[in-house]
Structure 1
Amino acid sequence: MKWWQSSVIYEIYPKSFYDTNNDGIGDLKGVEKKLPYLKELGIDAIWLTPIYLSPQIDNGYDVADYRTVDPMFGNNQDLKELIDRAHRLNIKVILDMVANHTSDQCIWFKESKKSKDNYFSDFYIWKDPKPDGSEPNNWAASFGGSAWTYVPERSQYYLHYYASQQPDLNWENPLVRQYVYDAMRYWKSQGVDGWRLDVITQISKDLTFKDVPTTDSNKKYIPLKNTSGPHMHKFIHELNQQVLKPFDMMSVGEAPNSNIEEILKLTSPERDELNMAFSFEHMRIDKAIGKNGAIAVKKPNFLKLKQVLSKMQYELNSKSWNALYFENHDRSRIPTRWGNDTEYRYESATAFATILHGLKGTPFIFQGEEIGMTNPKYSVDEYEDIDLKNKYQEQVKEKHLLTTDEFLKVEHKIARDNARTPMQWNNKKNAGFTEGKPWYKVNPNFTEINVESDKLSKKSIFRYYQQLITLRHKEDILIKGDYQELLEDDKNIFAYQRSWKNKSWLILVNMTEKDLSLNELHDNLKNYKKIILHNYLNQKLEDILKPYEAYILEK
């Protein structure tokens, strides 16, 4: 077994974690100061979202210099000291590599845009206009608008899958690949243990650059082939051979739009690509298609959630390894999104945590998840995210697809910024995050929801996460055990067995705020006498599952 297979990894969004110099922005010294807290929680590794020099158009996912820590977070020495301190506490450190695109302020791009025949000319993807001067094709960017931006100096357009300030790198150029690998080797020399690879399945493009077929010539479309391009596996294998394998570095890739077959290819050990990949499919159970492409949500389809997670368990079992997550910096808070963040906040937070941590794979926790932080309900002006602001401009202001209230009703559920509010440490000023003015508004509920009060509560989500993590460290059944789903057709109860050698566990979770009968499992339940973990205070198994009630039972 590799270290990451028995680990729980904690994602840190440094900007919102803890501020030590009171400039309102979290910093690396803040992460270092909170390492004892993370050690108490029990996690094995931290993943830092990008801390490199950046104009912060997309909160650091627009990198200007891969080898320099942004001054807002500190400096390179601060990161080295954080890594050394973490290692002394037996905590590994994982960095975020954004290799699909850079910032338009990166020196590579500044040089590339100057002419068609300099050293950096082919570091990005440049195309001539159509005869009428318009974009090379009808591709749309994920953050809205065209995926192409014109540069007069070259009389050409460059490709950007995201914001116009995030030009996509040309991975067909071997020099680009070596520059990326060299940056990763540099951080390995500073002690980094692994990588989360941002949108790594998008590094190979559809080289035909054809229009998406359409009946509306005025529309832009996100091409279906913007992931898993023709050379994607070749490039990732090369990255593995050049960096990951020689230095024994753990890797987890973000894999938007990748199906189970693609995930299996990416993570099968014999292919020498990635250790794990983040699938998106299970996070789309509440996504809907609005009129004329407007954003929309629907009631979560928990049957679909069960089907997707079970398929991942069955298909990857003994072939590769699962990356398990519900929350991250791009995802909303689960108690708000799928649960009940008022009357049953503790119960729904711990219920979904039980589902996730009972599965086979490596669980990822996002900062604040372990205390049940919730989505805020901000006005459009109070959000910071470029994706949200661009969509608001396009869908409300320009196309009038939604009213502001309709737009916010959706974004209050699924906006990326919902997870990016500052960490809530205590009930004092700014939730104990900073003495200065926070870069982003603190969720007003910090007076009730914070680390200090949660740890003192009889219904402590933090303590529950501690127990889940301890079980993973102590019980081989969670690491090595087989998976078998029960009640496959039940829309409200997630029930599955984990089996290893002579031990059998039953994970049983009510995903709703209704009382649910366990009649169908009655005969099976008689065999499970021992309660390993339970998120209600009364330690007694009954024939009714209360709202968001969760059990781990042993035969």
Structure 2
Amino acid sequence: MKERLWWRDGVVYQVYPRSFADANGDGIGDLEGIRGKLDYLVSLGVDALWISPIYPSPMADFGYDVSDYRGIDPLFGDVEVLDALLADAHARGLKVILDFVPNHSSDEHPWFRESRRSCDSAFRDWYIWRDPAPDGGPPNNWLSNFGGSAWAFDEHTGQYYLHLFLDKQPDLNWRNPMLREAMYDAMRFWLRRGVDGFRVDVIYHVMKDAEFRDNPPNPDYREGIDSEAQRLLPLHTADLPETQGIVAAMRSVVDEFPERVLIGELYLPLERIVAYYGEGLEGANLPFNFLLIGAPWEARFVAGLVERYEAALPEGGWPNWVLGNHDKPRIASRVGDAQARVAAVLLLTLRGTPTMYYGDEIGMHDVPIPFDEVRDPFERNEPGKGLGRDPQRTPMRWFPREGAGFTRGVPWLRLGDCVASRNVATQSDDPASLLSLYRMLLRLRRGSSALSRGAIRVLGVSDEAFAYERRDGDDRFVVVLNFTDAPAALPVAEPAGACVLSTHDGGASGELRANEARIYRGSL
């Protein structure tokens, strides 16, 4: 692995386009806004930006309801603006990854409009239609991930259509070869324009049981706490064996173009995540590993997770790690400001491709959203359970002023508090800030073959701390992390090499200080 490969050795930075930078003042982020911040991404030290959906959409689920797979929603710009963004990014050495949403389209997509026109429509089988049950109700017990039945009745044709998300997001029928080819051609459309790959939304849902059998009850379901969809186990609606063939076919499309990447969104157990590398590694290049997002923030648990994941990887499979995204609470809200610094060191020194979420580098927290301002349909459908995703999608803070430099208009979601301290401009001038720590880590990682592609070896773990070595030939580093807010003994003998980075000021020797992470050059 001597030759640099951008998606293996680099760092991905997720941009939620509505919330990153607003160039036209309408309060909603756009492509020109992203284009204007490319130099920031370069100065930060990331290698690729992944942009959440920007396709034409009625925005029932903020872009995850696509009405045209080959266009750009006017809210964000147009195809020419994306072309300019691609050119500018590539000129700076940045790669650009787009979201691809294959499980469902919008109900306003021309395919679905034609599909629901009649039972004899040529597009009828591009979606999943079924006759009612004998009692006239839904065909089976499948549930929507956003609450309620996954079936919607169409009065005009007298059948139900499947929607595993909103009823305005009908599921596509991936058993139809014409639908598959149309979707692969949509991928090629963007790859020809220079897009460097795709993050594929809920890739594990695309195939459903051909016999439409009921899903079994979930014995661990917690009434009033879990989402309604968790009442059943998705045995027949997720992670079907046939899905692997679809993933392999998508990978084949991506491999028609040089140096592109296929990333799969997977909320699955560890042993199922690694299955998506595919036979002979012909599946996703990076099946997303979200295990840290829901993990208890404890040294022994995280160390065990790292070891289990490494052991489960197929030979040649490259790992990846994620601390946050647009669907889950922010890392600083989950572990606190002090441990967010430890988390940054962990993410950027583990073996594998890290994915950062915009704003985590300045310590953005989830922002409470009053119910009358809620935009997320998940929260509106199941209020009171804390399932809403608006809190982690609030606008990026660029400057300590009104609008936070995000917009000169009214932001689509409230900014929240602490704007004066949690913004790029203020933290750029503070060498002790979280942003400065991220920049140091990214610079260290980029300059080290050990940190970007080397092997990992767990050295020691205690109830409080976790230590591991990264090594590529003579390039070696030891990372030590204190997961607690109290001093802790090093779980290994103190490395002989110099401490090149600490999350704390002052000397770094002896026991770990509260909430401290260190990186030593050299080995034990």
Q: Structure 1-normalised TM-score? A: 0.87
CA distance 1:270–1:56, shift in 2 (3 Å): same
1:550 aligns with 2:517: yes
Moved more, 220-229 or 21-30: 220-229
Deviations 1:44-88 (A, max 9, x none): 111110000011111111111111100010111111111111111
Q: CA deviation at 1:224?
A: 3.0
Deviations 1:419-453 (A, max 9, x none): 20000001111111111111111122212211111
Percent identical pairs in the alignment equals 37
1:313 aligns with 2:281: no
1:174 aligns with 2:147: no
Preserved CA contact (<8 Å) 2:290 2:323? no
State the distance in 1 between where 2:19 and 2:214 align.
Answer: 40
Query: 2:70 aligns to what SS in structure 1?
Result: strand
- The partner residue of 2:282 within 242, 258, 272 is 272
Match of 2:191 in 1: 188
Q: CA deviation at 1:154?
A: 2.0
Preserved CA contact (<8 Å) 2:15 2:357? yes
State the distance in 2 between where 1:164 and 1:422 align.
Answer: 28
Match of 2:225 in 1: none
1:507 aligns with 2:479: yes
CA RMSD, 1 decimal: 2.1
Deviations 1:360-404 (A, max 9, x none): 111111111111111123323333211122111xxxxxxxxxxx5
Match of 1:107 in 2: 110
Preserved CA contact (<8 Å) 2:12 2:50? yes
CA distance 1:187–1:496, shift in 2 (3 Å): same
Q: CA deviation at 1:348?
A: 2.0
Opposite residue 499 of structure 2, the aligned amino acid is: I
Query: 1:445 aligns to what SS in structure 2?
Result: coil
Unaligned runs of 5+ in 2: 220-227
State the distance in 2 between where 1:93 and 1:486 align.
Answer: 36
Preserved CA contact (<8 Å) 1:206 1:225? yes
- The partner residue of 1:80 within 68, 80, 83 is 83
Preserved CA contact (<8 Å) 1:506 1:528? no
State the distance in 1 between where 2:59 and 2:104 align.
Answer: 14
Q: CA deviation at 1:268?
A: 5.3
State the distance in 2 between where 1:196 and 1:105 align.
Answer: 23
- The partner residue of 1:541 within 490, 509, 513 is 509
1:371 aligns with 2:362: yes
Match of 2:271 in 1: 261
Opposite residue 16 of structure 2, the aligned amino acid is: Y
Query: 1:281 aligns to what SS in structure 2?
Result: coil
Match of 2:341 in 1: 350
1:250 aligns with 2:261: yes
Opposite residue 411 of structure 2, the aligned amino acid is: P
State the distance in 1 between where 2:6 and 2:262 align.
Answer: 12
Runs of 4+ in 1 over 6 A off after TM superposition: none
Q: CA deviation at 1:222?
A: 4.9
Opposite residue 26 of structure 1, the aligned amino acid is: G
> Where do 1:268-347 residues align within 5 Å?
270-285=280-295, 300=297, 303-316=300-313, 318-338=315-335, 340=336, 345=337, 347=338
Opposite residue 330 of structure 2, the aligned amino acid is: R
1:477 aligns with 2:438: no
Opposite residue 235 of structure 2, the aligned amino acid is: L
CA distance 1:317–1:120, shift in 2 (3 Å): closer
State the distance in 2 between where 1:75 and 1:93 align.
Answer: 16
Query: 1:381 aligns to what SS in structure 2?
Result: helix
Preserved CA contact (<8 Å) 1:139 1:222? no
Moved more, 222-231 or 53-62: 222-231
Preserved CA contact (<8 Å) 1:46 1:94? yes
State the distance in 2 between where 1:492 and 1:134 align.
Answer: 54
- The partner residue of 2:146 within 137, 143, 151 is 143
State the distance in 2 between where 1:32 and 1:352 align.
Answer: 28
Q: CA deviation at 1:269?
A: 7.8
Unaligned runs of 5+ in 1: 287-299, 393-403
Kindly indicate which of the two structures has a greater share of residues assigned to helix: 1
State the distance in 2 between where 1:279 and 1:472 align.
Answer: 20
State the distance in 2 between where 1:32 and 1:370 align.
Answer: 19
Q: Structure 2-normalised TM-score? A: 0.92
Match of 1:293 in 2: none
Q: CA deviation at 1:247?
A: 4.8
